[in-house]
């Protein structure tokens, strides 16, 4: 049986971004101490929020010793952490989710192979290692997206290719020894499910969220998603089955494409809280961060019911264009904002988010965006 880690103990968090910040805030409220190992020299979001921060790269041996000797259990807020390090942390203190589960989710080849081997519907794909394999893949799959296997997120490391694209030129441009070539999906919408599973195999899911992007960056997330009950139930079932087949312990985000005929394809999994789960902070009794903490610390999983329709607006850098964002938010009664403590607001950088509650939330979010981006 998994050990229960009670308040007063120290949670170790690998990664020092906004997800780590929000996990630290929740941990503090619940009476836990936090130690963040950022893996970077700068980690603005967690400064002043974590009890302690180790600002060292992930290849620093002393940092590993210091981290493991100070924490009672560890988790991640970010999946792109070297797998050998995750295994070392797992060997010294408990790591939830496991290094193996994070290893699957951090690498598109392993992720896709896991889905295919477990008969979970995902986008048709081929692994390609050279221009000839790319040309063959394009012939078989038609229009595609070529993605790097590792370290890709928010559309980074991805290139869209027409069925008749020049494979030699595209491969020469692609800066990686191996690619995952995915068929282009004409989806109707994108949705996601947050699922949590504890050490005893109890599983809970949150309502399905619907996700709209701007240049591959999540912009707005709507819960509940505007899909039929059947599609919503199926998405939640698939998310449970992904967690079960991975023997997962922790919180995970599962992203899907919903096709025009209502069928679902898993796009990818995130072994941590997810941007599309931020609505849970104000619209559910148990936020996704509390849920992660509960799963990681071996507490009973919390209630996931959606208490109000909610629309999460990501506060991306360009919403400050007219420099009125805070003024506008301050006028809203039923909107709850969360800032990440970042000093630069370049481009579409994620600087915070706001949860708008109520039946008219989407209209209010759209009006606000129009005013700010006009
Ligand atoms: P990813 O980083 O793989 O989640 O991709 C970022 C975004 O690119 C997704 O949320 C989709 O909007 C789009 N995208 C990725 N893969 C595909 C695909 N195979 N077909 C259509 N759109 C895609």
Coil vs helix vs strand at 326: helix
| Residues 194, 274 contacting (CB under 8 angstroms) | yes
Ligand 1 atom 6 nearest Cα: 155
Q: Which residues of 92-128 are buried (b: 16+ CB within 10 A; e: fewer)?
A: ebbbbbbbebbbbbbbbbbbbbbbeeeebbbbbbbeb
Tell me, yes or no, if the two domains 10-95 and 124-183 fold the same way.
no
Element (H, E) at 311: strand 310-316
Torsion of CA 188, 133, 80, 210, to 10 degrees: 0
Choose the CATH number for 10-95 among 3.10.310.30, 3.40.50.20, 3.30.310.50, 3.40.228.10: 3.40.50.20
Domain layout of the chain by residue ranges: 10-95, 124-183, 187-373
Query: How do the pLDDT tens digits run along the chain, 374 residues long?
Result: 678 999 999 999 999 999 999 999 999 999 999 999 999 999 999 999 999 999 999 999 999 999 999 999 999 999 999 999 999 999 999 999 999 999 999 999 999 999 999 999 999 999 999 999 999 999 999 999 999 987 665 666 789 999 999 999 999 999 888 999 999 999 999 999 999 999 999 999 999 999 999 999 999 999 999 999 999 999 999 999 999 999 999 999 999 999 999 999 999 999 999 999 999 999 999 999 999 999 999 999 999 999 999 999 999 999 999 899 999 999 999 999 999 999 999 999 999 999 999 999 999 999 999 999 98
pLDDT computed for residue 1 by the predictor: 63
The DSSP annotation for 260-296 comes to: TTS-EEEEEEESS--GGGTTHHHHBSS-HHHHHHHHH
Distance of CA 110 to the CA centre of its chain: 17
Ligand 1 atom 12 nearest Cα: 216
CATH domain 187-373 topology: D-amino Acid Aminotransferase; Chain A, domain 1 (3.30.470)
Assess whether the C-beta atom of 210 lies below 6 angstroms from ligand 1: no
Cα(160) to centroid(ligand 1), Å: 10
Cα(44) to centroid(ligand 1), Å: 29
Distance CA 218, CA 94 (A): 32
Cα(153) to centroid(ligand 1), Å: 10
β-bridge mates for residue 192, sequence order: 209, 255
Ligand 1 atom 7 nearest Cα: 216
pTM above 0.85, yes or no: yes
- Pocket mutation for ligand 1, best pick of 106, 107, 125, 145 (most atoms within 8 Å of C-beta): 145
pLDDT computed for residue 155 by the predictor: 64
Looking at ligand 1, which atom is closest to the CA of residue 186? Answer: 21
Assess whether the C-beta atom of 190 lies below 6 angstroms from ligand 1: yes
pLDDT computed for residue 268 by the predictor: 95
Assess whether the C-beta atom of 107 lies below 6 angstroms from ligand 1: no
pLDDT computed for residue 374 by the predictor: 87
Ligand 1 atom 9 nearest Cα: 216
Q: Domain 124-183, what architecture?
A: 2-Layer Sandwich (3.30)
Distance CA 294, CA 299 (A): 5
């Amino acid at each position: 049986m998994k050990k229960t880690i009670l308040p007063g103990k120290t949670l170790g968090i690998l990664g020092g971004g906004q997800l780590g910040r929000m996990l630290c805030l929740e941990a503090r409220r619940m009476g836990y101490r936090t130690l963040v190992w950022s893996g970077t020299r700068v980690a603005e979001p967690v400064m002043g929020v974590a009890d302690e921060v180790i600002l060292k790269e992930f290849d620093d041996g002393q940092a590993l010793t210091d981290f493991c000797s100070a924490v009672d259990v560890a988790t991640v807020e970010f999946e792109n952490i070297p797998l050998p390090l995750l295994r070392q942390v797992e060997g010294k203190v408990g790591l939830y989710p496991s290094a193996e589960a994070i290893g699957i989710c951090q690498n598109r080849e392993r992720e896709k192979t896991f889905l295919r081997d477990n008969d979970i519907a995902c986008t048709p794909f081929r692994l390609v290692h050279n221009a000839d394999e790319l040309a063959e893949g394009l012939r078989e799959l038609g229009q595609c997206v070529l993605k790097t296997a590792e370290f890709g997120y928010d559309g980074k490391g991805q290139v869209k290719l027409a069925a008749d694209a020049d494979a030699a030129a595209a491969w020469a441009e692609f800066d990686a020894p191996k690619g995952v070539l995915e068929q282009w999906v004409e989806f109707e919408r994108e949705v996601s499910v947050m699922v949590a599973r504890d050490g005893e195999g109890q599983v809970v899911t949150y309502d399905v969220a619907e996700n709209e992007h701007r240049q591959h960056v999540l912009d707005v997330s709507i819960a509940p998603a505007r899909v039929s009950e059947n599609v919503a139930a199926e998405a939640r079932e698939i998310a449970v089955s992904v967690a079960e087949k991975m023997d997962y312990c922790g919180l995970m985000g599962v992203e899907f494409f919903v096709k025009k005929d209502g069928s679902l394809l898993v796009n990818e999994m995130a072994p941590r809280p997810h941007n599309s789960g931020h609505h849970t902070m104000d619209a559910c009794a148990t936020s996704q961060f509390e849920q992660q903490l509960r799963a990681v610390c071996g507490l009973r999983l919390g209630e996931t019911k959606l208490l109000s329709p909610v629309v999460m607006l990501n506060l991306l850098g360009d919403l400050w264009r007219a420099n009125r964002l805070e003024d506008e938010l301050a006028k809203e009664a039923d909107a709850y904002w969360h800032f990440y403590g970042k000093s630069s607001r370049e481009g579409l950088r994620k600087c915070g988010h706001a949860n708008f509650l109520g039946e008219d939330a989407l209209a209010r979010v759209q009006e606000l965006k129009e005013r700010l981006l006009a």
